[in-house]
Homo-oligomer: A and B are copies of this chain.
Amino acid sequence: METDRSGETAINIIPGTKANGTGKAPVVVSSTKAVEQPKRGVKKGIAICDFLLRLCAIGAAIGATATMGTTDETLPFFTQFLQFQAQYNDIPAFEFFVIANAIVAGYLLLSLPFSIICIIRPYATAPRLLLLIFDTVMTGLTIASASASASIVYLAHYGNPNTNWLAICQQFGDFCRSVSGAVVGSFIAGAILMFIIVLSAFALKRS
């Protein structure tokens, strides 16, 4: 309809002065640009936000991985054959946690160049879609690892009398604290990734 109307306006003007009619075209173009300029700014702002959030998520994921991976507590007492030691690889869920968070941190690092491309070219949809698809998968991975570990941490803290699983945090207090911190870090990374997905959707949306 816009095209139709501008065509009509041009027709009304030309009978009076023909020079004015040809002079009209640049005015129309510049007004279209003026409308697109703030939109471009918004898209660019979203892309910059996306980049900064990615940096935060990298921090959270690397922090969670490092905390979980380096946690190691040896109790001060030991018998002749046994030394009581707790490490992340005693529990499969924590191993999965370390692997998953390392993958997510690696992916986020690799995604930074694509995020920069989105800042430079705010209207490019291909890199943004690619990022969104992988972000969705990585969000799933992060949340899965965090909550799998969270349920084990809960068990370590409180135990479960119905199944005779006893709490181990009375003995391994420091271990439990570090592990809980790592789980929180991973949940933060997951939440940031979810926010990044929503931001990407806003950036993709037709205005």
Contacts and interface: CB of A to CB of B under 8 A. Distances in A.
Given A136-B194, A151-B151, A206-B125, A7 B32 contact: no
Nearest to A10: B7
Contacts of A8: 22, 25
A180 interface: no
A165 B90 CA distance: 12
Given A3-B32, A4-B28, A204-B204, A198 B154 contact: no
Contacts of A10: 7, 10-11
Nearest to A140: B143
Given A144-B143, A163-B90, A29 B11 contact: no
A67 interface: no
B4 A93 contact: no
Given A90-B163, A151-B148, A165-B165, A129 B3 contact: no
Interface centre among A10, A125, A137, A139, by most chain B C-beta atoms within 10 angstroms, is: A10
Contacts of A155: 152, 155, 165
Secondary structure of the A contact surface, majority rule:
helix
B149 A151 contact: yes
Contacts of A194: 136-137, 140
B93 A151 contact: yes
A128 to B, nearest CB: 8
B4 A129 contact: no
A71 to B, nearest CB: 14
Nearest to A206: B206
A163 B91 contact: yes
A24 interface: yes
Interface of A: 1-4, 6-8, 10-11, 14-15, 18, 21-22, 24-26, 28-29, 32, 86, 90-93, 123, 125, 129, 132-133, 136-137, 139-140, 143-152, 154-156, 160, 162-166, 168, 190, 194, 197-198, 200-202, 204-206
